[in-house]
A and B are shown apart, each in its own frame.
Chain A
Amino acid sequence: MSTPSDRPVFLNLLQIRFPATAIVSIAHRVSGVWLAVSLPFVLYLFDLSVRGAQGFAHAQTLLQHPLGRFWLALFMWAWLHHLFAGLRFLLLDMELGIEARTARRSAVWTGALALVTAVLLMGVLW
């Protein structure tokens, strides 16, 4: 941990302007945390599905319930955004698309792609 200094700090999130790259990045972090927090429930569904025919059916029922569907939609979007934004980060690690304008454009496309594929996937799963 760093020693405290007298340098000014400005962290008013309501006033700081956020380019697309920042939004895709924080969404990648939020989706990651959300996926991690969802793990117990996902494991529970998996547990139900392997324990017997009744459990399997129960898991299906849970996912077909309106709340279950809503949760699944959010989960799919979180996973897809985390995946696509993550792949973009891997490319940036290799310095591909690291120039500011390219990066901003790829951020917009990544976010849009994640949302679109999430909608498509939910359409298929519904």
Chain B
Amino acid sequence: MTRPVQGLRAWMIQRVSAIYLALFTLVMLLRLLWSPPGDHLLWRAWLASPWVFVGFTLFILLLLAHAWVGLRDVIMDYIQSLRWRSVSLAVVAGALLGLGIWAARLLIVVATP
């Protein structure tokens, strides 16, 4: 991306992730409404199936990226003070990273029956 246009990378990440997130959630919602997994074992088995697992992991990664770009935009819009902006961004980044690590752990649980 060329230098004179600042913010293009974030914008692109937000838009591209949005498309995948929209498609994935819609497909998953329809699938789960059509035939909901009746119990814990069926749920785990479905989550561990190849396409679902890869798609879901990708979903989590892109969701965190999408949430970060969005929340960062909100923080930059409403918090002008450098100190509080830094604090807010740090807290949000930390929270999203923490959620990512927690999600990774759950994915490992799902992947290892």
Contact = CB atoms under 8 A, between A and B. Distances in A.
Interface of A: 1, 29, 32-33, 35-36, 39-40, 43, 46-47, 49-53, 55-57, 79, 83, 86-87, 90, 93, 124
A49 B43 contact: yes
- When A and B form their complex, which 7 residue pairs have the shortest distance between CB atoms, in order from nearest? A56-B40, A53-B40, A36-B67, A32-B70, A50-B109, A50-B110, A39-B99
Interface of B: 15, 18-19, 22, 25, 33, 39-41, 43-44, 47, 67, 70-71, 74, 80, 82, 95, 99, 102-103, 106, 109-110
A50 B19 contact: no
Contacts of B103: 43, 46
A51 B102 CA distance: 13
Contact of A39 (B39, B41, B67, B82): B67
B102 to A, nearest CB: 6
B18 A36 contact: no
Given A1-B82, A36-B67, A49-B43, 19 more contacts: A1-B80, A29-B74, A32-B67, A32-B70, A32-B71, A33-B74, A36-B71, A39-B67, A43-B99, A43-B106, A46-B106, A47-B102, A50-B43, A50-B106, A51-B109, A52-B40, A86-B22, A90-B15, A93-B15
- Give the dominant DSSP class at B's interface: helix
10 contacts: A1-B80, A36-B67, A39-B67, A43-B99, A43-B103, A49-B40, A50-B44, A53-B40, A86-B22, A90-B15
Nearest to A49: B43
Contacts of A51: 109
A33 to B, nearest CB: 6
A101 B25 CA distance: 31
Contact of A56 (B43, B80, B109): B43
